[in-house]
Structure 1
């Protein structure tokens, strides 16, 4: 495929399916750690309103599990009747601030938090998780049928709650991604073996979501190109899977990602590995494990701007779908490069955690540089309220999210009712 003859400006309006965004910058999903007992809190609303006021075209709420046994944290929002008023408050607030809002949905599979979920983590095949120190249970076909239906239910509820889009999580060795991986999927039934079989669950999920919401909201898939683990899912298989999803007609846009929360968590992020900070927020015995062997499990990769571009452009050449470039997008030159190479949108995460109003300032002055230094100390804050630890939110330009560095999260705060 060739790049469009007219290269759009990243700050021009862009369309994903039925949704028109005011610009082509998306706040990528970063688990906020701000829900409480399965429901939205005011802190979670304010977190996303800050990015809307800061200029993004769309912000992504992460991670909204489709089932209780798919949660990766015990407080994650579930698609219950009790959660719906808070979700509607969130979407209304983001819309009032001028941006669209997407709900990231998925099932954690082998990455799920089995202890707090009080149910075994599900996986394609039985496996010991060295990081979580538990054993995943092989999912039955009945489990998979239930989870496919749960994705459809979540997408329908997202539309009901006022979300403009759903982003279905097919990456990071969450359940659908684990099925894609030949390293993790050792099944001999219709969900294992050949690539078509390993892709069956992802395709069923996407079809169920499309059947449920039709064209009411946009449907995005976030899919791995590379697990970052020997013997895992890689680009040579990601290309045909992307083509099958396009041919199925279930997607409005595709965002490529990389890495495995199960096997190689730092592969996506690049930059420093804050081992002491990770150990500091972990319960025992995981804390001791991180201190002893964390350097083997949490490997360091050098950060470069646009670090997923080289692989993503190979997917870009193979499909006609609108694509979102993720990974090392922090300044106007990289945004312009993405547009010139045929990507319709860019997604940003850590740079916006550091400066929620970065997009407004980039639009005003193209020479603006992000202050993010890729220390990755934001990552362990997932458990206490995701933030850049180098910034006191009370003094951050352009944000209303007034939580200082060291904020201890939403525990004890009443959810929105």
Structure 2
């Protein structure tokens, strides 16, 4: 690996021997070896005392951890008659890489890339078994016309070294009828709380029709060359909808007690088995529990697992939740690591077939521990393989410290999909764009300066260095990661702080010359004589012009969350109900403060992803946080704030005020200065327009690729 450099510089003409300088020391590398990835490091940098202009270069060191055996994770395993080369599975996740139900080249490239990264089996996303769950952006397997495309997909996965499986699916009441020009189907006329469409109650003949459709779909999957099929019986979809008492109120043989409610799923298994034969592996995805009032409990989940096993299922793929408890289906950052492992372990104790588990398993150490403890037999690596498709390969090559971090933000993957875009990843802009984006060696090597060490700047610096450019990065503070470090200081979000620091590590590993405590000045820029500069200086808080805003009892939200200031007052008003304001409120209520939020819009949290919103709304309710919407703060006093709402003014008690009113770009107008000095100048992220981390990282990646 090339030597990495961390260099700290003082402002010219100033001398302070007590100033702390940052260097990447060998001791940090040793510490990093054991905790960087699996132990959630709190810092990558060692700080030492020195004199003005002190520089220390560390050359040609090895940052790998001492060799750790992932014996169980990397060992072969069997599902029915199928032998998998290791214990990793890429699970079925929606992508929108579909055209009128047909496989696209984009989907083939996306799946092949995960297979090439060392995964043992890819389970392709939901494939509709019947016209009543079809849609333009959902893979079709309900007609023979789809088989040729599916065959190309299966072949590409297998060419990459993985086994190919596909998930057979019917959405039931959770699939809007408008998608196929009809009315959603379900066991009973009980609408999904999210879709809010009363289902058509399936007749016995229609139940038989759907069961047969599963069998025909399985036949097509086998004909297309897939090595296995998985039946989707989880997350409130049709099979799970029959299983749950709250959505199945039938009184015939498909309703009543658990065994009768499980009859539909069991008959689907029989139809699939009859279509593919005894030796063809058939898996079942199931929710161990619903986490929804009246939904199945873990005890009922265990009973259902036994019933499925008795019908001949070869493996159980354990998840939880439904549309009524959406966050559990794709667990976001505030849910714990290994969120499904306990459920999986309890089911494993009650069946003889292999158990697969998914849900916030982001390191090979955690995967190995789960397997060694006997809590599961296979590990489903979902979002982490969007972030880093080489997870398994890096584990095999004893390079786990290089695995990029997933933070369970859901914004680059599922949120993009629900917004009508294709799935991707905040930290990996290449995900989903494998046919369009490639990091290639630069045809002309340049001297590149990146100003700003936040996520966007670090991504730009890393990619530019990996392309062969000589890259220097100026960061005027003593830390790398920018606002994402601050975001990681909020409750439940330490993963984000770790990920931000890891971006710094990857940049330095790529050979970037990082200079901390280094403000961009004309003299420093000219001294480097860069051919190109990328400005990633971020933003600074927007402070509204209201009376009293400069008072001693007024604080800025970023500083509060970051721990730079300590609010001693008890009653606190937060001005601004966006994500930052809500996080500041959460931070303060954990300190025992009495908090209210003042928001100009008609609701708080308009910028929240759908998986994060339930957590934040529950936070407001549980902590009895008063929310004043359509309210504009017009004055701040020593013990109250004055707000204007519907043309009237009122006073709200507040001993302290926290400002979370937005941001403004490029503090210090660095971009204008850099553009005057360097002809090739690009501005990215918040320095260009205040946005979110995906904008910054993707723009940084694109800027580096354009050099």
TM over 0.5: yes
Q: Aligned-pair RMSD on alpha carbons?
A: 2.1
Q: Where does residue 271 of structure 1 map in the other structure?
A: 332
Q: Is the 8 A contact 1:303 1:374 kept in 2?
A: no
**In the aligned structure 1, how far is the partner of 2:317 from the partner of 2:200?**
29
Q: TM-score, normalised by structure 2?
A: 0.50
**In the aligned structure 2, how far is the partner of 1:73 from the partner of 1:202?**
26
For structure 1, the residue ranges without an aligned partner over 5 or more in a row are 1-6, 273-301, 407-417
**In the aligned structure 1, how far is the partner of 2:198 from the partner of 2:415?**
23
Structure 2 residue matching 1:101: 3-state secondary structure: strand
1:8 is displaced (CA, Å) by 5.9
Structure number with higher relative contact order (C-alpha < 8 Å, ≥ 6 residues apart): 1
Q: Where does residue 344 of structure 1 map in the other structure?
A: 377
Q: Does 1:359 align with 2:392?
A: yes
Q: Where does residue 260 of structure 1 map in the other structure?
A: 322
Residues 308-327 of structure 1 aligned to structure 2 (within 5 Å): 308-327=340-359
**In the aligned structure 1, how far is the partner of 2:137 from the partner of 2:357?**
30
Residues 241-260 of structure 1 aligned to structure 2 (within 5 Å): 241-248=304-311, 250-260=312-322
Q: Which residue of 379, 386, 395 corresponds with 2:423?
A: 386
**Number of residue equivalences:** 366
Q: Is the 8 A contact 1:325 1:338 kept in 2?
A: no
1:73 is displaced (CA, Å) by 5.7
Q: Where does residue 90 of structure 2 map in the other structure?
A: 27
**In the aligned structure 2, how far is the partner of 1:73 from the partner of 1:230?**
33
Q: Where does residue 611 of structure 2 map in the other structure?
A: none
Q: Is the 8 A contact 1:10 1:335 kept in 2?
A: yes
For structure 2, the residue ranges without an aligned partner over 5 or more in a row are 1-69, 439-693, 696-707
Structure 2 residue matching 1:226: 3-state secondary structure: coil
Q: Where does residue 134 of structure 1 map in the other structure?
A: 197
Encode CA deviations 1:27-80: one digit per residue, 9 max, x unaligned: 011012111111111001011001011110011111101011123665432332
Q: Where does residue 289 of structure 1 map in the other structure?
A: none
1:140 is displaced (CA, Å) by 1.2
**In the aligned structure 1, how far is the partner of 2:328 from the partner of 2:135?**
19
Structure 1 residue matching 2:112: 3-state secondary structure: helix
Q: Which residue of 290, 293, 312 corresponds with 1:227?
A: 290
Q: Is the 8 A contact 2:111 2:157 kept in 1?
A: yes
Structure 1 residue matching 2:210: 3-state secondary structure: helix
Q: Where does residue 304 of structure 1 map in the other structure?
A: 336
Q: TM-score, normalised by structure 1?
A: 0.83
Q: Does 1:17 align with 2:51?
A: no
Encode CA deviations 1:369-412: one digit per residue, 9 max, x unaligned: 54101111111222322111342218x9xx94545989xxxxxx
Structure 2 residue matching 1:12: 3-state secondary structure: coil
Q: Does 1:119 align with 2:153?
A: no
**In the aligned structure 1, how far is the partner of 2:184 from the partner of 2:286?**
21
Q: Is the 8 A contact 1:331 1:370 kept in 2?
A: no
**In the aligned structure 1, how far is the partner of 2:167 from the partner of 2:151?**
15
Q: Which residue of 224, 231, 239 corresponds with 1:161?
A: 224
**In the aligned structure 2, how far is the partner of 1:94 from the partner of 1:320?**
29
Q: Bigger CA drift: 338-347 or 360-369?
A: 360-369
Q: Is the 8 A contact 1:186 1:192 kept in 2?
A: yes
Q: Where does residue 257 of structure 2 map in the other structure?
A: 194
Structure 1 runs of 4+ off > 4 angstroms?
Answer: 72-75, 403-406
1:323 is displaced (CA, Å) by 0.9
Encode CA deviations 1:287-316: one digit per residue, 9 max, x unaligned: xxxxxxxxxxxxxxx232211111211101
Q: Is the 8 A contact 2:98 2:136 kept in 1?
A: no
Q: Is the 8 A contact 2:165 2:230 kept in 1?
A: yes
Q: Which has the higher strand share?
A: 2
After superposition, the Cα gap between the structure-2 partners of 1:67 and 1:314, relative to the gap in structure 1 and judged at 3 Å, is same
**In the aligned structure 2, how far is the partner of 1:195 from the partner of 1:8?**
39
1:130 is displaced (CA, Å) by 3.8
Encode CA deviations 1:245-304: one digit per residue, 9 max, x unaligned: 2222x211111110102x1211222225xxxxxxxxxxxxxxxxxxxxxxxxxxxxx232
**In the aligned structure 1, how far is the partner of 2:303 from the partner of 2:135?**
29
After superposition, the Cα gap between the structure-2 partners of 1:196 and 1:168, relative to the gap in structure 1 and judged at 3 Å, is same
Q: Is the 8 A contact 2:106 2:434 kept in 1?
A: no
Q: Which residue of 75, 90, 102 corresponds with 2:165?
A: 102
After superposition, the Cα gap between the structure-2 partners of 1:402 and 1:17, relative to the gap in structure 1 and judged at 3 Å, is farther
Structure 2 residue matching 1:129: 3-state secondary structure: coil
**In the aligned structure 2, how far is the partner of 1:77 from the partner of 1:328?**
29
Q: Is the 8 A contact 1:163 1:217 kept in 2?
A: no
Q: Where does residue 39 of structure 2 map in the other structure?
A: none
Structure 2 residue matching 1:264: 3-state secondary structure: helix
Q: Which residue of 272, 279, 300 corresponds with 1:209?
A: 272
**In the aligned structure 2, how far is the partner of 1:244 from the partner of 1:82?**
34
1:212 is displaced (CA, Å) by 1.2
Query: Rg larger in 1 or in 2?
Result: 2
Q: Where does residue 295 of structure 1 map in the other structure?
A: none
1:174 is displaced (CA, Å) by 0.3
Q: Does 1:55 align with 2:118?
A: yes
Q: Which residue of 73, 81, 94 corresponds with 2:144?
A: 81
Q: Is the 8 A contact 1:74 1:113 kept in 2?
A: no
Residues 172-183 of structure 1 aligned to structure 2 (within 5 Å): 172-183=235-246
